[in-house]
Amino acid sequence: MSLAQNHRLPTLFRRLQQTSQQQQTSQQISNNRGLASHQEKRSLVYKLNLACSQHRSLAQVLANFPVDPQAPDGTLFNPRIVWRTRNLEFGPRTTRNIILTDTLSRTDPRDFVCSEENGFYRVPVTESVIFADRDKDSQATAELIVLRDVFGDDSPEERHSLHGISKLLMLRVLNATAGHMAQIGWNAGPRHARVFQAAKSYTKNLDLETRIEHDLDSVAALSLTWALLKALAPSDIPDTIEKTLADSGLPKIATRDGLDFVWSSRAKPTRFPLIASPPPEGYLTVDYSASLHTDHAYVPGACAVSLNVGRKVDVKPAPPTTAAAPASSVRSRLRSGAKNSKTPAPPSRDPLFDDTSLWPESGGGNFVDMSLRVVIEQATGTLFMFNPTHRHGTTRLCGAHNYTASFTFSQHIKDAFDKANKGPHIEAGKGAGDGNFDLK
């Protein structure tokens, strides 16, 4: 053994010891939580609509093949079909500094009102709908899918339980910081130093045990979102995503500790070690607000997924405010949390008065697909899928607070993976995205 090889041994031993410590701590935390029984697990699966077995393709949905023939039109298992063609010339010709809003409460020339009077289809909180069109080969395509009440029956007991689960999980992960976005899974590193690695944005300055607790909750939130998508959305959507991921070679979601699906609540935690792992890039957000923009994605079509797990609207309007001009960086999309951002939005040269009495009664923070001319009014239990390559964004929050779990498929992350894969071969570590094998 050379001197150089001998010098590396202490570092190698420390890394092996650290890895062993992480696995032991993960096992201990999971055991301390206790586990739900098989019957309790089945009960949760049925309550959350994860047991939906009649998986339908888009063609079946368009052929009027409802899961429940007695379900009213426009409901979860019988969504309304709206044929709508994109108008790529509609709305602002640029995405720079365009702020979307539901009502006009100020005289800011950058505001673009997304109202029915301006030609928008506003999806009410009670309506499930699929916006469809035909491609150049006359094949039907889903441009935008909105599914309501995906958590099941609206009984007070179940709704209270689900609200408790989602609120506990989201606040624990994000520490209730307004305008916070946490990335879970794989990312491409900073812009000036691209590297394919596990995201670390939500685990800064945390001890190992706390970090693993956060990882468990984060992976559970995204695994639940993915399971709901596979159970309730037209099969074309998850099938296209899974095929693209398989062809690309990208690993499934994983954290630095590579944990499986453990869903926590006030009752016993429930482990799903064999559930299908979700895609590699997930986000948990609180009070997300984005100006008009587009995203480069490597999965075609309506691939971006968002699940609203909690929403509330301030009862009393906030005091009149002075508008701030949005910055051009990506972080400025979280304007509601600008005071906590490293790059706060610069103040406007001409302060503009914001009349809060003109804010929408139901709050803002609604999703907008500009070229499709559709506004999705946000509500708890809303799952929607959209095409991120077209212009989209959210309306001003106006007192609304949304808690969401999302999946995107950013082209720059795939590019970083492809670049890294040209060197030493990348393989997911033990338990990374495939469940914890020690617990199977």
In this structure, the chain runs to a length of 440
Token readout for 354 is 């914001």
Residues 27 and 42 in one domain: no
SS3 316: coil
Q: Which helix (H) or strand (E) holds 236?
A: helix 236-248
Per-residue model confidence (pLDDT) at position 436? 31
Total number of domains constituting the chain: 2
Residues 333 and 381 in one domain: yes
Residues 17 and 86 in one domain: no
Residues 302 and 350 in one domain: yes
Q: Give the amino acid at 94.
A: T
Distance CA 98, CA 94 (A): 8
Distance CA 307, CA 383 (A): 4
How far lies 49's CA from each of 3, 76, 151, 305, 306, in Å? 60, 11, 6, 17, 17
Domain residues for the domain of 18 are: 1-33
Residues 151 and 7 in one domain: no
Residues 42 and 23 in one domain: no
Query: What is the pTM assigned to this prediction?
Result: 0.76
Per-residue model confidence (pLDDT) at position 36? 66
- Supply φ then ψ for residue 8, to 5 degrees: -80, -15
Distance CA 185, CA 201 (A): 10
SS3 118: helix
**CA proximity to 52, closest of 264, 306, 308, 235:** 235
Residues 26 and 130 in one domain: no
Residues 303 and 429 in one domain: yes
pLDDT tens for the chain, 440 residues: list them. Answer: 443 444 433 443 344 444 445 545 555 554 555 666 667 667 767 766 776 656 788 998 888 766 677 778 899 888 999 999 999 999 997 778 899 999 999 888 889 999 999 999 999 999 999 999 999 889 999 999 999 998 876 555 555 556 655 655 555 555 555 677 878 777 665 555 555 556 655 545 667 777 777 777 777 778 888 888 998 999 999 999 999 999 988 877 765 554 455 555 445 666 665 566 788 898 888 888 999 999 999 999 999 999 998 888 987 555 555 544 444 333 334 433 333 434 444 444 344 678 888 999 899 999 999 999 999 999 988 999 999 999 999 999 999 999 899 999 999 888 888 887 775 444 444 433 333 322 33
Per-residue model confidence (pLDDT) at position 341? 38
**CA proximity to 85, closest of 136, 124, 122, 147:** 136
Query: For 72-188, where are the alpha helices, taking DSSP H only?
Result: 156-174
Residues 181 and 137 in one domain: yes
8 Å CB contact between 246 and 289: no
Residues 280 and 177 in one domain: yes
CATH code where residue 228 lies: 3.60.130.30
Q: Produce one character per residue of 163-192: b if its CB has 16 or more CB atoms within 10 Å, e if not.
A: bebbeebbeebbeeebbbbbbbbbbbeeee
Residues 4 and 132 in one domain: no
Residues 263 and 277 in one domain: yes
Token readout for 338 is 């600008």
